[in-house]
Chains A and B, each alone.
Chain A
């Protein structure tokens, strides 16, 4: 398929899934056409509600996502799924296997599943996850489910990007306790003990429940703890109900609108900051001034702080 962005976007607006997929790649790869694409699609965004699903590897996230997506389909909602897995720091490659567990929706043309590698982003999310969600939103999906691996270290970003965050844990291996220590507790709007067909599921659930009692109720929402057996689809109905209940609360309280506004502000600030830095950098030929100062510091004639001050003085800042 030849790359003519306007033709591609026209096909995208007509509901062509091949075009959708190519647009996602252009955005994910930060292709030069990416800003134009996001600008063109912007007026069509703002409708999809995003659900984050995070938790340790093997907890059953993908299996649950498959069921929840299928459940959303029974309400005739269109669903986008973004499944993020880590990029190997050694090879730069990634093995993305979430689709294996998503077989009940993978031939449904109301569902679009995209696997993403984290590509050097540290927090479990890929850099471009948000942009890819925007593209799916513009395509007209009603719900976007974002699956990320979360072990409680720095994947708090998912809570920033998703409207409602589901934390999936398993009964064994003291995951409950780990989660409390590690910060997954902070980000969950809904907690799930999956694999509740196993022993000690009740204990895990009770522990989590009592730990959550200490957490302040936010906007009238007390995070529930649910039990599921994803393999058999048990507990999915209740999970789906809680997700929708939470989303509804966020919509009616104006919280989603408010977050969108803050998001828009942050985006403008980010773009402006980059542009301003870039143009000031080039105008003042900072690259060359820095090179000269590096030589001077290495020769013992200056320090990094003195050099920076010197450059600012020279450029009249």
Chain B
């Protein structure tokens, strides 16, 4: 296991991952493993994540070393499409039995590799480690090494047993396996100035094919896509690209960044979802290859295609505007986490529920991002009755979400559209956006909704569960209004930390009784913030709310100024407002980068960048005057 834990450690030290860099050493050791509550709804394991990331490589045999649970219950269940080989859809597993558990499964693994090579002769076999063989100490690295030598083919160990963490960790460990064993092992026959990598795109529902033809038309050569519709040899050539686009998620940031470190391949993070993002991504990719030596006219070709496709897409969507105008969409999480999807939906007249959005002001954007980023699991525990009321409160006409909220939404007789990873429709690029709008229209205007909401002939309309749910909600609201104590109890019962299941009241009490001042104190006292740390910001606000009234009274101006200056801006590097202001004044700094270089503020998770910018703005607003004097 030592090599696995070393790799995991390496992944956690990923400086390109903002989330990680923001953590203390101790937290980093714990890593991204959002510790799941026992008795919670389960997400996929690290093995699952590794398989999701690599299985789209179509010509490779993906062999799962473990008991039948890991492969038998789940094989061939993903929507990654292939234009060539279908070997990736074949389920290979060692299906270890009791004897293997007692005596070790390495022999069976070796024989399995041999059988696969004899029968299917793939360019490579990827071997996935799972929990049970990891526990009994099967050394898959050694087996793969021996097999590579014996069979003269790359046999790649993917060391990502489920229990080391969740899916996203598995994505990264998969990336490490490619970096260690695959990338850089094959040289392309020739290279061009237009060679690019697309990383983190899995060709779900064939989405890559909504994008690839346009990129090719412009003149890009996708030397390697990791890993949608990829072939082993292409992935192995990724080190010869001129630029990398990292698609949206941070799932494969480690590959992207190490390609830059080791081979000097610059990258940017982009998305294919939404018209705006699609166009931006094309432009950025074009700019990167131009920076690397491609002729500047290349941008004109890109712009020409962008202009043509945008026009076509907007025209196609405009046809839907009269039907969709004013309809309300409740958008919850899912794979399509892109601001520009929202922008496009608004463009056809749909309203996004939960925001008073005009669009494109920064706050609106943040709010929507927040809304969409809301953990899908929050809705898993929701009863259809609650969901029905929520949708009713929100006056939504349709819900777009992923995951299991599907069945609850449908049982609540609510039009629903799948935007999660298992969706059947491709929503990428220009064509995909049009398809999304079309699907929304189809779902909204299906005539079944009116019928399924009707009461049965023997049913009193007041007794349908929908009516009951409404009555219940009304009763609850009335009760809360009449009884302040209950309303307070309800306010206090709000879950702040979802990982550790800690509510607002508990946190407030702890702050008061323990006179806690920092998030760390609160975490120590209540556990809140001890999971994914996503709620730390909220906890900070709670501390401020609880403490302020009492302290505000006693502060004199000097103390107040001291307190203002002592406020930490950069939690990662522990830099205060005062320190930043002083540095700006003393050294005459004028950009965030300079401040970061001077004070380290912002060199951690980077989340304080905006605050630094504000401080900079305030100080600079006064500095020139001083300089002019």
User: Do A and B associate with each other?
Assistant: no
Interface residues of B (CB under 8 A from A): none
